[in-house]
Chains A and B, each alone.
Chain A
Amino acid sequence: MDISFRIRRYNPEAGRTKPYWQEFELNDVEPSHRVLELLHRVKWEQDGTLAFRRSCSSGICGSDAMRINGRNALACKLLARDVGPKIQVEPILGLRVIKDLIVDMEPFLAHYRQVLPWFVNDGPLPADGRERLQAQEDKDLITDSTNCILCAACTTSCPSFWANGEYVGPAAIVQAHRFLFDTRDTGDDARLDALGAPDGVWRCRTIFNCTPACPRGIEVTRAIGEVKLAVRKGATAGIIDPATIKQQH
């Protein structure tokens, strides 16, 4: 199939100080080709100056979140047949564009660090020198949120974040969820404080953009809801009903 590509370009060095659209035509595209491969074809065959991030090309590293036909996605997880024959690509919204499809990730990562995203348990280790015990059902409470790859697709699809970049955003809350509901972790107090702050979890207006944006299929809005409850109660026990955890089909 033939594809016509419309790509949002911006190059701070090239004299043109404003972003602009550029069109590219690609012939002989297999329907099974990933949008990422098509971007590579543009870059390698037509215009080497096109800049975008990518690494794994299989939806696991989180480098290539972009707005494709108006919706956030990983370019390596969308196939030509799913979007084709006209594809419009632009950078994710709400973060400063540095060049073409590359945005400044630092504010996003600063929010991530704000929720203290690391495991804390300074209590004594098991005397037998082995692993801590945990029931599979308890581990399952966080299986969904541990899958986050920090691609920023959720946060940059959120109108509350667009309106106020100080809001920690869905991704940071998902990351916090992973620790708050880890039955082995003891660092909840500091995390709940961070999330209860004015730019924390309450800026979420439950608009639901984040869940469909997530390329990992994480139930982002649900996670945010559970974190809100935890902040309100000041504790995490009993919030998640194990029976409602989604089966990963």
Chain B
Amino acid sequence: MQTHQFDALIVGAGGAGLMAALYASQGGAKVAVVSKLYPTRSHTGAALGGIGAALGNHEEDRPEWHMYDTVKGGDYLADQDAVRVLGEEAVDAVIELEHMGLPFDRTSEGRISQRRFGGHTSNFGEKAVRRACHSADRTGHMILQTLYQQCLRNEVRFFDEYQVVDLLLNQGVACGAVAIKLGSGEFHCFNAKATLFATGGWGRVWQVTSNAHSLTGDGAAIVLRRGLPLEDMEFYQFHPTGLYGLGVLLTEGIRGEGGVLLNRHGERFMERYAPTIKDLASRDVVSRSMYLELRDGKGIRGSDYLHLDIRPETVNRYLAEAGETRRIDEDFIARNLAETLEVCRTYAGVDPLQEPMPVQPTAHYAMGGIPTNVNAEVIVDAAGKVMQGLYAAGEVACVSCHGANRLGTNSLVDLVVFGRRGGKRIANFVREAPLIPPPMDAAEEVRAEFERIRNSEGSSRPGELRAQMQSLMMTHVGVFRSADGMRQGRDAVLELRQRFLQDLGIDDRGQVFNTDLMEAWELGCLLDTAVVTAECALAREESRGAHSREDFRERDDANWMVHSLISSQASGLVTEQLELALNHDKSVDRSLEAEDERFAPKERVY
């Protein structure tokens, strides 16, 4: 097996991984980025609407207001030390992206243009504010491209189409990872002083999702299998406006520019659920309201979708009604929502300039993940003990700046702010730290698991198991949840997992680009991620943010202002029993609240 030695190993080349790689390399570290996709194909490129930062280029804005919205949007579960960092460093990070050449849209003064976005307000919830910095509705694409280009300029080493399948631990510290080179099927050992996971989310656990096929929770599952905890896995966000049937995302920027949600009666129903900011309430609130409308039979043509309307005549009518002077026209939409028009025309045969778009909530974003502190260092217990040599950033991480529900535009902020912190921290760490060698037979266990899958001849095909899991999770661990349903869902998913272990059958026994094999391994990751999600959701007996229980409808601050930490006690990489241990000992950081009582938990009204 080939072994590579680096100061820093970055697993994943989305916004978080590239940001970390860039800063670690600028700090003098020898950096390798290992990614199963070519970097520019990472799902960060799909992010549409914008990146939030209180630049105040159109109207007054302040980092504290951004922090307040983030804490409130997160339903008071976010760690406020992390929120403070997010708000304070967002401005600087966005300016830095501009300095790296990111082609932002501009205001008439030539500054970065900003738009409204769900849950972002000025003056502690007073009114919607223009905070989302954007490049049309292709902001993520521009961030990804810009960071990749700068990494090339900085001579970061890329190992493209190498898939990490195991984490290396020795003497209780992380010392790299095992990867498969997809083009040849060879195992490679990456030995490093610091390893950072930035593998993104796991939307493919659910049936209707905005996430790429490649978002299969590899990073979360790998870490779980090595005995490390995952945090707040019950909190998974459903975005209100997925294109009906496909789940492809229609950006919140559409509502930011004035678009409205309508039920079958043409009623703008969000006026009832969120009288102040209406369609721009935070995502959990809007998704739930949509479900309630659908349940009341108010779906379009009695079906299970609603309308999103951005036609100028509709938008301008509501703008006039609200006493606003701004008006939009078709040109404005074509310029600012080009991607949206394209997506609707291609996939739904709907021209948003002529008719409303059919939408339904779609599985979108993982608030939970690998627990870290504000320096992207992975922590292993409720007291915040650091795992030496291991880091995580981006969607796979849970520094908990999003709490129970992430605000739109805050993921891109999270990537650049905590990716950068991780990169800087790593650059410092590797200067002094020794290189711990990998354990003997580093790849033996994971190789055995791959040989099992490669040679499997059972009757359960991965595609079939995956589809069943996705449908179960959608029904039982989706927007609305109850104990009975979740128990049923979890047990059924555990059964699928048994079939995966005992009765799997794949076709391809080869080495070169064996995508059959890799997809089956990824299914294993999805199944583990699904099980821990259901387990954590079942345990949390309250409704908070994206976690909404029909049998516990209220938020319960007295008992549940705590994070969940779940880990597997199983000895062995992929075992029959996951032997999960769940605790709620990690409390929420409330340092902003300690200084300013406006950050104290309140009922969330929008």
Q: Which A residues form the contact surface with B (CB < 8 A)?
A: 11-14, 32, 34, 40, 43-45, 47-49, 51-52, 54-63, 77, 79, 98-100, 102, 105, 109, 113, 117-121, 125, 129-136, 139, 142-143, 146-147, 149-150, 178-179, 182, 184-185, 217, 247-249
Contact = CB atoms under 8 A, between A and B. Distances in A.
A119 B100 contact: yes
A125 B463 CA distance: 52
A59 B346 contact: yes
Interface in B210-225: 212-214
A145 B142 CA distance: 11
Nearest to B46: A60
Q: Is the interface of A mostly helix, strand, loop or mixed?
A: loop
Given A98-B512, A248-B334, A249-B334, A48 B46 contact: no
B547 interface: no
Contacts of B348: 32
Given A57-B213, A98-B513, A131 B111 contact: yes
Given A117-B149, A118-B150, A146-B142, A58 B248 contact: yes
B510 A125 contact: no
Contact of B95 (A48, A102, A129, A147): A129
Contacts of B136: 143
Contact of A48 (B245, B349, B506): B506
Contacts of A34: 347
B295 interface: no
B46 A56 contact: yes
B335 A248 contact: yes
Interface in B140-154: 141-142, 145-146, 149-150, 152-153
5 contacts: A14-B510, A136-B110, A136-B113, A147-B141, A248-B335
A61 B106 contact: no
B98 A132 contact: yes
Given A51-B515, A149-B45, A44 B106 contact: no
A13 B510 contact: yes
Nearest to B335: A248
A105 B513 CA distance: 14
B343 interface: yes
Contact of B45 (A13, A61, A217): A61
User: Which one of B46, B152, B515 has the highest number of Cβ atoms from chain A below 10 Å of its Cβ?
Assistant: B515
A58 B45 CA distance: 11
Contacts of B248: 57-58
B492 interface: no
Contacts of A99: 512-513
B497 to A, nearest CB: 19
Interface residues of B, number: 68
A100 B153 CA distance: 33
A221 B88 CA distance: 44
Contact of B516 (A13, A48, A59, A139): A48
Interface in B95-113: 95, 98-101, 103-113
A49 B349 CA distance: 33
A132 to B, nearest CB: 6
Given A63-B37, A131-B111, A134-B110, A56 B149 contact: no
A146 B342 CA distance: 16
B282 interface: no
B317 to A, nearest CB: 23
B64 interface: no
A133 B109 contact: yes
A54 B98 CA distance: 30
User: Which one of A14, A60, A147 has the highest number of Cβ atoms from chain B below 10 Å of its Cβ?
Assistant: A60
B152 A113 contact: yes
A246 B515 CA distance: 40
Contact of B105 (A49, A57, A58, A136): A136
Given A61-B37, A247-B331, 20 more contacts: A13-B510, A32-B245, A48-B506, A49-B508, A49-B510, A52-B515, A55-B41, A57-B248, A60-B46, A98-B512, A117-B152, A118-B101, A135-B106, A136-B105, A136-B107, A139-B103, A139-B104, A149-B45, A179-B101, A182-B101
Contact of B99 (A11, A57, A102, A131): A131
Contact of A58 (B37, B111, B343): B343
Interface string B503-545: 0001110111111100000000000000000000000000000
Contacts of A13: 510-512
B513 A51 contact: yes
A107 to B, nearest CB: 14
Interface string B573-602: 000000000000000000000000000000
B99 A48 contact: no
User: Which one of B213, B249, B513 has the highest number of Cβ atoms from chain A below 10 Å of its Cβ?
Assistant: B513
A132 B462 CA distance: 51
B388 to A, nearest CB: 33
B275 interface: no
B424 interface: no
A31 B228 CA distance: 46
Contacts of A11: 510, 512
B183 interface: yes
B555 interface: no
B212 A61 contact: yes
Given A49-B510, A146-B142, A247-B331, A135 B110 contact: yes
Nearest to B353: A249
A150 B160 CA distance: 14
Nearest to A184: B101
